[in-house]
Amino acid sequence: MSSGPWVLRSLLFVPGNRPDMIAKAGRYGADALILDLEDGVAPEEKARACQVVAGALEAGIPGSPIVFLRVNGSGSGLLARDLREAFRPGTAALCLPKCETPEEVVMLDASLRALEFQHRLPGGGTRILPMVEGARGVVQAAAIAASHARVCGLAFGAEDYTADLGVRRTRQGAEIAYPRAAVSVAAHAAGVDAVDGIYADFRDTDGLRADTGAARALGYTGKMLIHPAQVGPVHAAFAPEAAEVEQARRIVAAFEAAGGSGIVVVDGAMVDRPVVLRAQRTLAIASRPAVDRERD
């Protein structure tokens, strides 16, 4: 398994039935957009959303952002239509919501192979981001993360998870402590990104920072967002400190000086390839501005 060729700190949801919002979404500096056909779209608007998303992908979204497409899940009865009517070249990855088994990912791969052939795209190039949002998905998280080479990460959805268990979602988050950690561990075990779920109160910047900091402490590398105002605070929360950046530079420099293989010693500690990969990611994140486009 592997993560995508991206540094994804922020993935901003955009309702698929709102062409006005899609047209502006690339301005806000998010690392990726998620054009939503699922929970962000009312049932009576879902067919229209497919048409809107297809048109936007065909025309090209201003700013040329990385585009994910959240389809309706395997049990919805809508997945085949979403893929047929909304998928177009320019879709970097599919978000598979409420994923509970590795078989769902394998089945989606089969559909993607047919779509890639139809649209003359490189086989296997479209990634999959399974979203773990229920008890069964948490139990199966490691198998889901390792299910296919298309998997670029594993996302945790706290809102649907608590609904599945029938428990109250609290600000303190004790009810999601175990599954949130379990999904991150599963992602890292498979060598893919760990993407945290939304923070629903987009006006609460302090709460967002604290929530993102807690996610980062658990190993999450990115977060899903519901409002452009959340982009800057999330990027700041994921930004490495100056000492981390300097150490990462020394690690990468020492590794390259050693020919890019084996084990090197930096600051008295032995450094192997996983540490170097983490250092390279730190430098990649540090090179990205907090928000690099105008907000409207």
The per-residue pLDDT for 10 is 97
Note the pLDDT of residue 240. 79
| Residue 294 in domain | no
Task: Point out the domain boundary residue: 238, 260, 275.
Answer: 238
Q: Is the pLDDT of residue 6 over 80?
A: no
Nearest to 9 by CA among 222, 236, 289: 222
Predicted confidence at residue 108, as pLDDT, reads 98
User: Which helix (DSSP H) or strand (DSSP E) does residue 271 occupy?
Assistant: strand 269-271
In degrees and rounded to multiples of 5, residue 20 shows phi and psi of: -65, -40
DSSP codes, 5-39: SS--SEEEEEETT-HHHHHHHTTS--SEEEEESST
Has 160 been labeled as part of a binding site?
A: yes
Please indicate, yes or no, whether residues 233 and 125 belong to a single structural domain of this protein.
Answer: yes
Instruction: Give the range among 53-57, 187-191, 257-261 with minimum mean pLDDT.
Output: 257-261
Query: Which residue range(s) make up the domain with 107?
Result: 10-238
Q: Beta-carbon neighbour count of residue 120 at 10 Å?
A: 7
70 is in an annotated binding site: yes
Write the DSSP string, 94-120. EEETT---HHHHHHHHHHHHHHHHHTT
Asked whether residue 233 falls in the same domain as residue 249, the answer is no
Exposure letters 234-251 (e unless 16+ CB within 10 A, then b): bbebbbbeeebbebbeeb
Whether residue 197 is found in the same domain as residue 267 = no
If you average pLDDT over every residue of the chain, what do you get? 91
For residue 133, say whether it is annotated as part of any ligand binding site. Answer: yes
Shared-domain flag, residues 176 and 252: no
Look at 39-43, 45-49, 167-171, 244-248 and tell me which has the smallest mean pLDDT. Answer: 244-248
pLDDT at res. 4: 61
Same domain, 175 and 265: no
Report pLDDT digits (tens) over 124-140.
Answer: 999 999 999 999 999 99
14 to 38, 44, 94, 248: CA distances (angstroms): 11, 17, 14, 34
- Residue 206 tokens, joined: 């302090």
| pLDDT score of 3 | 58
What pLDDT is recorded for position 291? Answer: 61
pLDDT tens-digit series, residues 86-120: 999 999 999 999 999 999 999 999 999 999 999 99
DSSP code, position 196: E
- Tell me whether residue 1 is in a domain: no
Please name the residues in contact with 236: beta carbons below 8 A apart, sequence gap of 6 or more. 209, 290
pLDDT > 90 fraction of the chain, expressed in percent and rounded: 76
240-292 pLDDT tens trace: 778 878 888 888 888 877 777 677 777 777 777 778 777 887 787 777 766 64
Label residue 294 by pLDDT band (50, 70, 90): very low
Number of compact structural domains in the chain:
2
- Dist CA 272 CA 2 (whole Å): 18
Looking at residue 251, its pLDDT comes to 85
Encoded amino acid at 245, one letter? V
Residue 255 has a pLDDT of: 81
Same structural domain, 94 and 216: yes
Residues 6+ away with beta carbon under 8 Å from 198: 13, 157, 158, 159, 223, 224, 225, 226
| 5 domain-assigned | no
Check residue 282 and give its pLDDT.
78
Q: Tell me: the pLDDT tens digits for 203-231?
A: 999 999 999 999 999 999 999 999 999 99
Give the pLDDT score at 295.
44
